[in-house]
Chains A and B, each alone.
Chain A
Amino acid sequence: MQAALGTVGPIVLGLALLACVCVFALTRGAAPIPAGTAAALALDQLPWITFTPDAPATWQRIIVDVRLPRVASAILVGAALSGSGAAYQGVFRNPLADPFLLGIASGAALGASLAIVSPLPIDSYGFGWVPASAFAGALLTVVLVTLLARSGGDVDGVSLILAGVALSSICSAVSSFILLTGGQKAQPIFAFIFGGLNTVSWTRVVLAAPYVVGGIAVLGITSRALDVLQLDEEQAEHLGLHVTRTKVIVLAAASLMAAAAVAVAGIIGFVGLMVPHAVRLAWGGGFRRLLPLSLIYGAAFLVLVDTFARTVIGPQEVPLGIITAFIGGPSFLVLMRRRRRWLL
């Protein structure tokens, strides 16, 4: 009960923050739109609410076709990245685990790149097989990185990150090679490598959402097991947990979410590292709290950062991945210096 009350407050706070950030994002851009109008135009899109704000038709098009899909995809990607980051940290018992640092994002991007240049059917948005292929790439990377970091039955924390960074470089190199040699057809790969939401569309959001929702559902069900996994394997087994099975399920679900995020937005690093860590610092480490809070605050964080990305030197965009790396790199270093405290 105490834990439940302790979770409701931060969740309400997070949802309120998310709503504010979304409205803010909708107002910003080449054509400034007042917050009230922007919110009304957005809410009007919901099937059971009707608003007819007094606004020019261009405003409606800007909100519905340009800014809203962007906000929606930022929510999806932010939640997917930080939720999967929290899950990876739980499984590997390593606060530095993150879809980007583990090489999973680059693996997914390589999978997506291969789908783009393959003869597989692709719709006009360059999508179709992309999420599935990204998922395959993500899974393959997570298996590889785990095997590479394994020594004597346990996964070593430092080797894990090193293996992840190495695999990430390899996958990125292959993706770049495909981009350079793939001709016109390979051009969308550019967006994956830099990472950003400038190419999003409603189609992408709708195609990727089920992956993220499915992953979240699995993580929600297994979150108590993730708490048990924070103990060493032996203790977890003694408490009746099927350790290997649980890890495989959680890794698959987290990779599904990370792959969906990459399929929508390309490689965006460090979100899965920073958000769960901030949540843990503020409200403690239990997964039943960490998981929903990471999803909400991750979504809010990415909506905010993306708004910054498309307005700071507007009309030109700064790739989102560059901004998250700019904030995330230093936080990684700080975390690394303090890592002992969290690991021992």
Chain B
Amino acid sequence: MTAPLGAPLLEARDVTVRAGGRDIVRNVSIEVRTGEIVGLVGPNGAGKSTLLRALAGARHVSGDVRLIGTPMGAVDRRTRARLVAVVEQLPEAPPAMTVRELVALGRFPHLGLLRRQSAHDQNVIEGALRRAGCDAFADRLLGTLSGGERRRVFIARALAQEARLLLLDEPSANLDAEAQAMLFELLRAVATEGAGILVVVHDLTSAAASCDRLVLLRQGSVLAAGPPHDVVTAEHVLAAYGPHVSVFEHPTSGIPIVIPTAAAR
């Protein structure tokens, strides 16, 4: 399955996720095309992570989720794993596994049980380690890594998967300002190569600065969707987050900046 640049990779229509007797996500439609970064934003408990997980597995979900035109349910497990890489918010990291071993597991969908790692697989693994900035600690055990290093390792595994669609849940949490900027540069490069990226971002300012489109969730529903400028507005931010935060425009780039209202006075 391939798709030309700009073609829809993921199309989700009227997705509803029920859990614990209530709708965590209600009638959400979302689309990710090749070459673009779509940011999923919203206050805590808006259903961002739930939606992302639902899209990743398309289980316990009502609605129509398509991967390159095919209903998600009809895509077999391994094909799906070759097309979609998922990095959850706090994935468990087996402490006694090395960084390189974990990243190499990204090749599993391509290798299956019996195929041996080829030179190509090795190159992909080393390339993923390098791009995600993990080559310096590739032989260390996962149990010895800092929170930020661990994030990058899972990004590296997603890269090693060579997937067309990346679903990332807050990959920039625990990263310092420089590492955050480098992460979004990396995601931009990966998108330019033809991948589509759906990323949950907590920080509205960095989401607006780094994503092509944003989807703002509130209480499980889409409050606004579109280019950052149209989504991160004073009106939407007030509706989603309340009066404690305010929106400004960056003086030269015009990118919306969200800061605490108290600090802006």
Contact = CB atoms under 8 A, between A and B. Distances in A.
Asked if A pairs with B, the answer is yes
Interface of A: 1, 93, 221-222, 224-225, 227-228, 230-232, 234-235, 237-242, 280, 284-286, 341-344
Given A221-B114, A228-B105, A238 B96 contact: no
19 contacts: A1-B117, A224-B114, A230-B97, A231-B92, A231-B94, A234-B53, A234-B88, A235-B88, A237-B57, A237-B77, A238-B84, A239-B161, A240-B78, A240-B81, A284-B101, A285-B97, A286-B97, A342-B96, A344-B95
B109 A240 contact: yes
Given A224-B108, A224-B111, A240-B81, A280 B86 contact: no
Contacts, number: 74
A341 B85 CA distance: 28
Interface of B: 53, 56-57, 77-82, 84-86, 88, 91-92, 94-98, 101-102, 105-106, 108-109, 111-114, 117, 122, 143, 161
A278 to B, nearest CB: 13
A341 to B, nearest CB: 7
B105 A239 contact: yes
Nearest to A238: B86
Contact of A231 (B96, B105, B109): B105
Contacts of A286: 97, 101
A224 B110 CA distance: 12
Given A232-B91, A235-B92, A285-B96, A344 B143 contact: yes
Contact of B108 (A221, A228, A280): A228
Closest 7 CB pairs of A and B: A240-B81, A240-B78, A240-B109, A238-B86, A232-B92, A230-B94, A285-B96
Contacts of A285: 94, 96-97, 101
A285 B80 CA distance: 28
A342 B95 contact: yes
A226 to B, nearest CB: 10
Contacts of A230: 94, 97
Contacts of A93: 94
Given A222-B113, A240-B78, A286-B101, 8 more contacts: A221-B114, A231-B94, A232-B91, A232-B92, A238-B86, A240-B109, A241-B108, A286-B97
Given A224-B111, A341-B95, A342-B95, A238 B81 contact: yes
A341 B94 contact: no
Contact of A1 (B56, B81, B122): B122
